[in-house]
Structure 1
Amino acid sequence: MRLKKSQRAEFFEDDLLEEPAPVRLPSKPFRLLDLPSEIRERIYHFALFTPSRKSALKKNGTVGASAKKSKAFSPTSHRIALFLVSHRIHDEASYYFYSTQIFRLFPVQDFARMPTVRQLPRRHRSSVTTIELILGNSWTAPPRTWTVNQGLGLHDMTLTRTLKVFIECDPSQPIFEGFRISKEYYTEFAGRLMRQVLERLPGLVQVEFDAYPSVHKNGSLMSRLLQETRDAQKKVLWGPERGWVDDEDDYDDPGEDPADAAIDGLRARNPDIDVLTDSLQNVSLEIETVAS
């Protein structure tokens, strides 16, 4: 049915005169702490790990799980604002932050932005659940600061359950002959360091080993580290990069190119060698393509 002009005008006027429904405002403020802990942690995650474009491009080093599993952080001002809300929110948010990160025991030369265990405030060490020891770097002269003492603070890390060990190279291999101090020098250093770390972590449960391709489970360095771990009665796990599994040894293939060990040794001394390695692999692929 078609309305007349006067009827249409009257219809629209009634529509305009009709008042919108009033908006009801909450009578009380929203209380974050009334939410379940799982939802609060999810909110803390968004506040702590929602990066800006610039911070998302920054890498936390290049070696080990602490670099590959690291999350981009929110801007510093956002994190500080969250920590300053109240004492309780500070304690909950800071615990969530420190318990979800992997902190290195000692620094290596790959420009990681995260502090090492020694640099952490003492009050937050008890929140850390996972730490990482990277071995193979500076195999000719380990830094004097790589010592396990009271100042390292391992005795404060009561909630630390997992120690990740990443090995960049094994200097006991023949390819390092003529460059190392002696065949077992670095093996002895790493073994003593491992034993001291295991002795000082009160709640440690497991040790996860991972490495670059040239490192072998039956090699001198890995054999010593595994022995120290088993003597301390800790569970042994295997990381994803090397592909090790239980009850399986990997032996050196007689036809294996020793360049793998050499590249891993160079990578341990200079992380930028990864760029050169990728270039060499691309050249090799091109040569193989042309030859075929």
Structure 2
Amino acid sequence: MPRRATQQLVGRRVTISRSSRTVATAIDNSLNAPPPPVPSDPNTPLSSDYPSTYASEAELDVDGEIDGEVDGQVDEHVAKAMGALTLVAGPAEATGEASAPPKPLSRLARRKQKPFPFLELPAELRVKIYEYFFDDTHYVLDLDPDNYRRIHKKLGFFRTCRTISLEAGYLFYSTHTFRIFPTHPGKHFKTKKPLLARMSSRQRSWITSLEMRLGPGWNKPPRGWVVNPALGLHECTSVRKLTVFVECDPSDGIFNGFRRADDFYEGFSRNLLTDVLNQMPSLDNVTFDAWSSVRKKGAMMRGLINTAVSHGKQIQWGPERGWTDEDNEEDIKVPTSDMVATALLNGVGMDVVIVA
């Protein structure tokens, strides 16, 4: 091929290569370029009616200029308007400079709320609040595995301050009845440390009502059912009511063949009640109650009534059994103090006084 023809062919190839690159560059620029502005039309809805899918004016401005910018300097009025859009106003408003970025909401200063002045309430209202606070606790309290969930966590309220400890503590212990010896089956029933022995001296001094249940362990009473100084009955100086609830009478014929010995549990119950009454000389009355199977003229009840009367206590009857002083169906007559004194002076046994 001649030399001149070869040069022309090479020139055409270079021209074609340059043209291809130019076309490729134009296509790439057209793909990356922003869409053309939409011409305004009277029949076309306002742009505010639909979300904008087009670039802003600042993005369309090729030279990087925006309204109000002259020679790279932002107009003062525009700078103030932009600063007013921020959450935190700064000195930029006065100088015309761009304001600082807003601080996160979590870092903003929060106003501290003042605690409610509970102790400034009248004492009557505070006591009413304490009553509502302990409203879901049982009236009679005993050693129970469920006590931790129902009661123990509430007692942490006493640690708030000394005033609340005294007020709420007195209300709690003076408005509940506490069982002297545990009756819940399991380890608590056989414990040597009853509920009273677990309390402090101040707590025991607030108690106004006690209950003693007789019947559980009728064939073999637990070793922990004894009255000793650790039980703290001598510190229960505010107790004015003792309830003796009899669950069963082992002297009944249905216990024949199962009893440990005749009159064993009846004697144990009388001795236990005697020890309790000796520790609380300020006690005014004893309330007797029982299940429906217990008879007032049975050996169990007769012995307990005699014990209470001999200590000069007034006899009252609980609501469960429904006994009254006018009961005639069982021919039981509760002896008065004069009858007891006369019987003891004449050497007559109390059983004779009861059935007379």
Q: Where in structure 2 are there 5+ consecutive unaligned residues?
A: 1-113, 332-356
Matched, 1:84 2:170: no
124, 128, 131: which one pairs with 1:45?
A: 131
Q: Quick one: distance in 1 between partners of 2:241 and 2:152? A: 28
Match of 1:124?
203
Instruction: State how 1:39-188 maps to structure 2 within 5 Å.
Output: 39-49=125-135, 66=141, 77=153, 79-80=155-156, 82-110=157-185, 116-188=195-267
Partner secondary structure for residue 247 of structure 1: coil
Is the 8 Å Cα contact of residues 216 and 250 (structure 1) preserved in structure 2? Answer: no
Report the CA distance between 1:34 and its aligned residue. Answer: 4.1
Identify if the C-alpha distance between structure 1 residues 246 and 50 changes in structure 2 by more than 3 Å, giving closer, same or farther.
Answer: closer
* CA RMSD after TM alignment: 2.9
TM-score (norm 1): 0.64
Is the 8 Å Cα contact of residues 140 and 179 (structure 2) preserved in structure 1? Answer: no
Identity, % of aligned pairs?
40
Identify if the C-alpha distance between structure 1 residues 188 and 250 changes in structure 2 by more than 3 Å, giving closer, same or farther.
Answer: farther
Instruction: State how 1:212-251 maps to structure 2 within 5 Å.
Output: 212-251=291-330
Identify if the C-alpha distance between structure 1 residues 73 and 37 changes in structure 2 by more than 3 Å, giving closer, same or farther.
Answer: farther
Q: Where in structure 1 are there 5+ consecutive unaligned residues?
A: 1-27, 52-59, 253-292
Q: Over alpha carbons, which structure has the higher Rg?
A: 2
Is the 8 Å Cα contact of residues 140 and 178 (structure 2) preserved in structure 1? Answer: no
Identify if the C-alpha distance between structure 1 residues 168 and 77 changes in structure 2 by more than 3 Å, giving closer, same or farther.
Answer: closer
Report the CA distance between 1:122 and its aligned residue. Answer: 2.6
Identify if the C-alpha distance between structure 1 residues 78 and 185 changes in structure 2 by more than 3 Å, giving closer, same or farther.
Answer: closer
Identify if the C-alpha distance between structure 1 residues 74 and 149 changes in structure 2 by more than 3 Å, giving closer, same or farther.
Answer: closer
Report the CA distance between 1:144 and its aligned residue. Answer: 1.4
Report the CA distance between 1:108 and its aligned residue. Answer: 1.1
The answer to which structure, 1 or 2, has the higher relative contact order (CA under 8 A, 6+ apart) is: 1
273, 288, 299: which one pairs with 1:209?
A: 288
Is the 8 Å Cα contact of residues 95 and 127 (structure 1) preserved in structure 2? Answer: yes
Identify if the C-alpha distance between structure 1 residues 250 and 175 changes in structure 2 by more than 3 Å, giving closer, same or farther.
Answer: farther
Match of 2:81?
none
Report the CA distance between 1:142 and its aligned residue. Answer: 1.0
Identify if the C-alpha distance between structure 1 residues 65 and 84 changes in structure 2 by more than 3 Å, giving closer, same or farther.
Answer: closer
Q: What is the aligned length?
A: 209
Identify if the C-alpha distance between structure 1 residues 76 and 116 changes in structure 2 by more than 3 Å, giving closer, same or farther.
Answer: closer
Match of 2:32?
none
Identify if the C-alpha distance between structure 1 residues 132 and 75 changes in structure 2 by more than 3 Å, giving closer, same or farther.
Answer: closer
Instruction: State how 1:12-51 maps to structure 2 within 5 Å.
Output: 31-49=117-135
Q: Quick one: distance in 1 between partners of 2:148 and 2:288? A: 25
Identify if the C-alpha distance between structure 1 residues 230 and 73 changes in structure 2 by more than 3 Å, giving closer, same or farther.
Answer: farther
Q: Quick one: distance in 1 between partners of 2:321 and 2:241? A: 18
Match of 2:269?
190
TM-score (norm 2): 0.53
Q: Quick one: distance in 2 between partners of 1:66 and 1:165? A: 15
Report the CA distance between 1:65 and its aligned residue. Answer: 5.4
List structure 1 segments (4+ residues) > 6 angstroms apart after TM superposition: 71-75
Report the CA distance between 1:50 and its aligned residue. Answer: 5.4
Letter matched to residue 231 of structure 1: S
Identify if the C-alpha distance between structure 1 residues 122 and 38 changes in structure 2 by more than 3 Å, giving closer, same or farther.
Answer: same
Identify if the C-alpha distance between structure 1 residues 153 and 250 changes in structure 2 by more than 3 Å, giving closer, same or farther.
Answer: farther
Partner secondary structure for residue 210 of structure 1: strand
Q: Quick one: distance in 1 between partners of 2:151 and 2:275? A: 37
